[in-house]
Structure 1
Amino acid sequence: MNLIEAIIFGIIQGATEFLPVSSSGHLALAHYFLGAQESDLAFDVALHLGTLLAILAYFRDDFWQMGKAVLGLQQEPSETARLRKMTLFIAIATIPGALAGLLLGQAAENYFRHPALVATALAGAGVLLLLADRTGKRTRAFEKITLMNALLIGLSQACAIIPGVSRSGSTITCGLAMGLTRQAAIRFSFLLSAPIIFGAGMHEIPKIIKNGMVEGQTILYVAGFLAAAVSGYMFISFLMQYIRARSFAIFAYYRFLVAALVLIALFLQR
């Protein structure tokens, strides 16, 4: 991998981590069709930490307020209770995805990355996103999220272990299906992504320390990290603004298009 490829992969990671189109699916397809070698573990972690920085930067006020509530630094009791409840919901919703990563992460890397499977997952999850966006009542605000909502959204996040499903896509789809507004579904999905991305990165760091980073590749890790952080922040901001007056339909149609192109390309390679 060279510097340009590192930046491209960082941009892809930052964009597709938050758009409901699957970052892991796009990276798997990019590796397959661009002929680039699979990135090493340290580089993958650098990309994910870049997207984590984007989340923390964009939602800094939310995380700051939740942190103060947990530490008892909030002045208003009712606001403290609300923020602590939301922090607990995010923690509970993280558990299914974390367990899926621990139990099925290796299988996902070895068996779930074939382009045909990625294309199928892109199309199938796109259908569910389109249905949820069109049929969901979209009447419940962020503050109305319940423990059951959080748990079900967390379970949907576990499905994103399959490249092509999309972590943000599955959680947004579930939120919409349960009647959340588009803004509430996106906000909870993005806040929920922080602990799962942080946990995934921390889980892999001991392996990086044990095996070491590829000598002379530090500049690639830094470039990928920065590209993912900048791209991630830009696309979070874009989606939060875009969805105020528009639906998620365009992302479902995009998934259908990519799936079709992948299947056509695979057919032509036969």
Structure 2
Amino acid sequence: MNLFQAIVVGIVQGLTEFLPISSTAHVKMVPVVLGWGDPGVAFTAVIQLGSIAAILYYFWDDLRQVTVGMVKATMTQQFSSPEFRLGLGILLGTIPIVVGGLIIKVFIPDFDNSPLRNASTIAVVSIIMALVLAGAEVVSRRKRTFESLTLMDGVTMGFAQALSLVPGVSRSGSTLTAGLFMGLERATAARFSFLLGVPAITLAGLVELKGLLETGFDSIGLVPLLGGTIAAVVSSYLAIFWLLQFLKQHSTWVFVWYRLAFGAAILLALATGKMQNI
């Protein structure tokens, strides 16, 4: 992968990481469609650190408030404080995806080449999740604000987040959908989804970065890796800002239709032989 290709993939990663359309699916499929091949899980996970840098910068005040609040609550044993409950909810909500990731590492060591990552699976899962998101839009009351979040909200959204281990699900999409089903306002569901994703995305990126440091950057190249990561930082920040503003005034139906079209386009390309099922 050359620098230009890495920057394009980094932009795709950043724009789709926080939109409910699956960054994993797009980072895999866009380079394949362009004839560059699958960039692989390792490259994808490392440039996710760019997305984490963007979200840490964007939500720094929120994260600092939660962290300081948790420390104070622990020292004074005031475990009913909103900051403690929110922070504990994020920590507990991270457990399902960590456990799921470890299970995949143990039982599907060759996950890069697993049928769970091929184009047909991504297409079908994208369509299914579009329908689930549509259902959430129809039945959700969308009345709960950020101040109403509870410990169980973090746990519930955490299990939804674990579904994103399957490419095509979308971490942002599954958690946003869960938030709507829980009655959260759209912007509140997105904001909580972003905060919940900080530990999960960070851990995934660090694990893969550790592996790359041990094996070297020969298979990827340090310059393309840096270029892709920087591109992911900028595009991620823009995506976060845009989505939070968008959901204050609009529904998620645009993402429902996009996911349906995305999945259908892949299935059509596979059926007509214009794309390999890799």
TM-score (norm 1): 0.93
Match of 1:84 in 2: 84
Q: Which runs of 5+ in 1 are unaligned?
A: none
Shift of 1:111: 2.2
Match of 1:193 in 2: 197
Match of 1:123 in 2: 127
1:244-263 mapped onto 2 (5 Å cutoff): 244-263=248-267
Q: 1:85 to 1:224 in 2, by over 3 A?
A: same
Shift of 1:108: 4.4
Match of 1:207 in 2: 211
1:36-51 mapped onto 2 (5 Å cutoff): 36-39=36-39, 43-51=43-51
Equivalent AA in structure 2 for residue 217 of structure 1: G
Q: Is the Cα–Cα contact under 8 Å of residues 46 and 224 in structure 1 kept in the other structure?
A: no
Using the TM superposition, name which of 259-268 and 17-26 deviates more.
259-268
Equivalent AA in structure 2 for residue 29 of structure 1: M
Residue 266 (1) aligns with residue 270 (2) = yes
TM-score (norm 2): 0.90
Shift of 1:42: 5.3
Inter-partner Cα distance in structure 2 for 1:216 and 1:47: 12
Inter-partner Cα distance in structure 2 for 1:107 and 1:40: 12
Q: Is the Cα–Cα contact under 8 Å of residues 55 and 233 in structure 1 kept in the other structure?
A: yes
Shift of 1:234: 0.1
Equivalent AA in structure 2 for residue 88 of structure 1: L
Match of 1:231 in 2: 235
Inter-partner Cα distance in structure 1 for 2:119 and 2:155: 31
Equivalent AA in structure 1 for residue 32 of structure 2: Y
Deviation track 1:111-170 (CA, whole Å, cap 9, x = no partner) reads: 211111101011100111111012101111112122222211111111111111100000
Shift of 1:102: 1.5
In angstroms, what is the RMSD of aligned CA positions?
2.3
Residue 70 (1) aligns with residue 74 (2) = no
Equivalent AA in structure 1 for residue 191 of structure 2: R
Equivalent AA in structure 2 for residue 118 of structure 1: I
Q: 1:253 to 1:117 in 2, by over 3 A?
A: same
Inter-partner Cα distance in structure 1 for 2:166 and 2:45: 18
Q: Which runs of 5+ in 2 are unaligned?
A: none
Identity in percent: 37
Match of 2:225 in 1: 221
Match of 1:33 in 2: 33
Inter-partner Cα distance in structure 2 for 1:121 and 1:107: 20
Shift of 1:79: 11
Shift of 1:209: 2.4
Deviation track 1:73-102 (CA, whole Å, cap 9, x = no partner) reads: 9xxx98992112111000000000111111
Deviation track 1:30-77 (CA, whole Å, cap 9, x = no partner) reads: 24322213336653343110000011011111011112223339xxx9
Residue 147 (1) aligns with residue 185 (2) = no
Inter-partner Cα distance in structure 2 for 1:187 and 1:194: 11
Number of aligned pairs?
Answer: 269
Equivalent AA in structure 2 for residue 119 of structure 1: A
Q: Is the Cα–Cα contact under 8 Å of residues 156 and 174 in structure 1 kept in the other structure?
A: yes
